[in-house]
Amino acid sequence: MRKLVFATNNKHKLEEARKILEGMVEVLSLSEIDCNDDIPETATTLEGNALIKARYIKEHYGYDCFADDTGLLVDALDGAPGVYSARYAGEDCNPQKNMEKLLNELNGIEYRSAAFVTCVALSLRGSEHIFMGEIAGEITKEPKGNAGFGYDPVFKPFGYDKTFAELGDDIKNQISHRAKAMEKLAQFLNNLID
Ligand code: IMP
């Protein structure tokens, strides 16, 4: 089966990608190709960062590769934290501190709509392709739930009365931003194989 590197070591993302691409390609993580490099994400857009990572693996390790970059875009904050979601709380940030900062910024604001947006970049046989996925929802007033990662405890998708962290991975992976982008990647790869 064709091997494709997913430029991540995040186990949630790997599991999700492997399920969606099952039977189509063998998905390898960065550690499985012995890549411990700290790939710089210096672009100012999700697409730019995803492309940097996919290109880096192709250039330095020779593998066809896909990479993702995700941002949480909050309307009342003019789209922040957006491309800077991972390091929203500054130098020594972590998911907890990022969520706290977000809740502080929204303190007293009732208009809390937001969207997760994922860009997946694919470098395959010398060509590059982009796939986008998005889910709209709102930021809750306090964190709830233990599943998932990142901002999941404070993001409630529209049409549901629970946060991603309460809904759990099975439901999240059917409706999420990343699942939608990955589905587009899967369709593209499927068409190539047919
Ligand atoms: P990355 O591009 O996947 O590294 O994500 C950037 C930031 O968004 C990180 O802080 C992640 O924790 C957060 N993030 C990415 N995907 C998700 C998600 O599915 N749920 C919650 N937070 C996420």
Check residue 186 and give its pLDDT.
Answer: 95
Query: Taking the chain, what is the end-to-end CA distance rounded to the nearest angstrom?
Result: 14
The per-residue pLDDT for range 36-67, each reduced to its tens digit, is: 999 989 999 999 999 999 999 999 999 999 99
The per-residue pLDDT for range 72-82, each reduced to its tens digit, is: 999 999 999 99
Q: Which of 64, 68, 69, 169 is catalytic?
A: 69
CB burial readout 60-78, b (16+ within 10 A) else e: ebebbbbbbbbbbbbbebe
> Is 69 a known active-site residue?
yes
Which of 15, 100, 149, 155 has the most ligand 1 atoms within 8 A of CB, as the residue to mutate? 149
The per-residue pLDDT for range 7-39, each reduced to its tens digit, is: 998 988 898 899 889 998 999 999 999 999 999
Check residue 40 and give its pLDDT.
Answer: 87
Q: Ligand 1: does its nearest atom lie under 6 Å from the Cβ of 166?
A: no
The Cα–Cα gap between 86 and 98 comes to 8
Q: Which helix (H) or strand (E) holds 54?
A: helix 46-61
- Residue 192: pLDDT band by 50, 70, 90 thresholds? confident
Q: Which helix (H) or strand (E) holds 161?
A: none
The per-residue pLDDT for range 136-162, each reduced to its tens digit, is: 999 999 999 999 889 999 999 999 999
The per-residue pLDDT for range 74-118, each reduced to its tens digit, is: 999 999 999 999 999 998 999 999 999 999 999 999 999 999 999
